[in-house]
Amino acid sequence: MKKYLLPLLVLLTHSLQAQEPAKKEEPKPVIAASQSVNPVITKHQTTINGQTFSYTATTGYMTLKDESGKAKANIFYIAYTKDGVSDISKRPVTYTFNGGPGSASVWLHMGCIGPKRILMSDKGESLAPPYKYVNSEYSWLDKTDLVFIDPVNTGYSRAAQGEDEKQFLGYTGDIESVGEFIRLYTVKYGRWASPKFLAGESYGTTRAAGLSGYLQDKFNMYINGVALISSILNFQTARFEKGNDLPYPLFLPTYTAMAWYHKKVAPEYQGDLLKTLREVENFALNDYTLALTKGDMLPEMEKNRIIEKLSKFTGLSQAYIRNTDMRIEISRFVKELLRTEGKTAGRLDGRFTGTDFDNAGERNEFDPSLDATISGPYSASINHYLRQELKYENDLPYLVLTGRVQPWSYNNVQNQYLNVAETLRQAMAKNPYLKVWVGAGYYDLATPYFAAEYTVAHMGLKPEQRKNVNFTYFEAGHMMYIHKESLIKLKKDADKFYDEALK
């Protein structure tokens, strides 16, 4: 880690070098030398749902310490609180984060929840650089105060000096550190009496579900609601490994949605998308699942029938599907779907396409819905916004999406798949008022909507508990909010979620 931090000493030591003799090099600081640990506070104004109001942005670090007072990590956060609130016990606060693992909170922050949003085309395409952001009339700030959290090794967050960063880079360490941040913020800013919510995207939904139980069991902090945007709670549903046939039927409806969007499904299924998806879902749960379960005991006639159906639903040739043994993995699908056009389809959002060097390759070179669509605008905008509008300066690189959290540790579930759905079920059982909202995009291959439905259906919820879980769907991908129509719908769904959770 030292090699990344050497430049950070320059500002601190420059004036001392002319006055003192050379000394033995001191350990490199974790926080940039140009940045005070004290948060920066700025005042702003916005208009949401026709309501104009002022708000305060608090930007900086929260230092996590053990009980002896030793610093463990410096967690970077940005909090937005509505001004003029006479009784904050009636004002909700939402703790929010993205996933990865290895992602900063920038996507939800500047995509849909925060007071600014990245300016993109209505479809969600990147505009030409330099990129711009605008005041967001679709922010959730009219409903709740917002606290955006960057876990260790994302954004500006880092392990404290002398601490091994690996202790934070895994399911357990991540839950404990983010949970401790939430406790500290709640204490420091007097939010114990406020309604509290968690909002996560992608692996952030894994974190949110884990926190729903951890905060409750560790600190007796009960949550009012959990928003799961592009949810993954049971990792068995998304691991394409030999011996695990579960993902294939659960990904099939998303394959169909993408094929439908690119006009590759059979003509009889090219009409109404939702009608087609209902038929595919039924096929996936019944005929397809049964066929996969039979393995090589599947009769040839039945196999031919399944392959024919799969071809109609996915747009892939029967010969190709036969060669996959009816098991179509993500990276193969996004390469094969548009091969004849010399294009690849997006994983995060199947509406987008890219071009590889080798059209004959088996897998795509990159995800066009990430690398060619959103990475540039979000990275440039958050770096500009932090310094220019939030007046926050830090010479560390702001890690938007990084591999510096890898390898991510799942030591808590050795020889099994991580499944935090049970943690969420227990939290709901202990807190019958806890509401859960799942937002899912039809074109999302990272966390398919049908896998999220399957997970909830297998949580073992009682009828009265199941009523507290609500799904909404979007004709977009993983970051459904980049699609203007879906962004508008997401705001309406969020308003409804908060209104119902606070009844």
Residue-wise pLDDT for 262-319, tens only, equals 999 999 999 999 999 999 999 999 999 999 999 999 999 999 999 999 999 999 999 9
Distances (CA, A) of 173 to 207, 210, 405: 11, 11, 12
pLDDT at 101: 96
Sign of the Cα torsion 151, 456, 306, 341 reads: negative
Asked if pLDDT for residue 24 goes beyond 80, the answer is no
Q: Per-residue confidence at 38, pLDDT binned at 50, 70, 90?
A: confident
Q: What is the mean pLDDT of residues 211-229?
A: 98
Per 3-state DSSP, the chain is made up of helix, strand and coil in percentages (nearest 5) of 40, 20, 40
At 31, the pLDDT band (50, 70, 90 cuts) reads very low
Q: Is pLDDT at 43 greater than 50 in this prediction?
A: yes
Q: Is the pLDDT at 16 greater than 70, yes or no?
A: no
Measured at the CA of 132, the angle between CA 392 and CA 119, to 5 degrees, comes to 120
DSSP string, 172-236: HHHHHHHHHHHHHHHHHTT-TTS-EEEEEEEHHHHHHHHHHHHHHHHH----SEEEEEEE--BGG
Q: Which two tokens stand for residue 76?
A: 């970077």
State the average pLDDT over residues 95-115: 97
C-beta separation of 472 from 439 below 8 A: yes
User: Rounded to the nearest 10 degrees, what angle do helices 247-261 and 449-457 cross at?
Assistant: 150
Give yes or no for residue 91 having a pLDDT over 80. Answer: yes
Q: Tokens for 53, please give them.
A: 């109001």
**Tens of pLDDT along 353-412?**
999 999 898 888 989 998 878 899 999 999 999 999 999 999 999 999 999 999 999 999
Domain 2-234+379-501: which topology? Rossmann fold (3.40.50)
Of 30 and 331, the structure prediction assigns the larger pLDDT to 331
Residue 22 pLDDT > 60: no
Q: What is the pTM of this model?
A: 0.91
Asked if the model's pLDDT at residue 11 lies above 70, the reply is no
The residue extents of the domains of the chain are: 2-234+379-501, 241-328
Q: For residues 138 and 439, give the distance between their C-alpha atoms in angstroms, rounded to a whole number.
A: 16
Q: Find, among 337, 376, 374, the residue nearest to 356 by Cα.
A: 337
The mean-pLDDT minimum among 11-25, 106-120, 225-239, 417-431 falls in: 11-25
Pairing of strands 93-97, 196-202: parallel
> What mean pLDDT is predicted for residues 427-450?
98
What are the two backbone dihedrals, phi and then psi, of residue 19, each rounded to the nearest 5 degrees?
Answer: -110, -25
The mean pLDDT of the chain is: 92
Please report, to the nearest 10 degrees, the dihedral formed by the alpha carbons of residues 6, 8, 12, 18 taken in order.
40
DSSP 8-class letter at 338: T
pLDDT at 44: 98
Q: Give yes or no for residue 439 having a pLDDT over 70.
A: yes
How confident is residue 35, by pLDDT bands cut at 50, 70 and 90?
Answer: very low
295 vs 290: CA distance, rounded Å: 9
CA-based angle 447:453:457, to the nearest 5?
140
Count other C-beta atoms under 10 Å from residue 322's C-beta: 14
Residue 226 φ/ψ, nearest 5 degrees = -130, 120
* DSSP label at residue 409: B
What is the structure's pLDDT at 37?
Answer: 65
Contact 61, 75 (CB under 8 A): yes
- 29 class by beta-carbon count within 10 Å (0-12 exposed, 13-18 middle, 19+ buried): middle
Structure tokens at 482: 């980049």
pLDDT tens digit string along 230-275? 999 999 999 999 999 999 999 999 999 999 999 999 999 999 999 9
Alpha-carbon distance of 99 to 437, in angstroms, equals 17
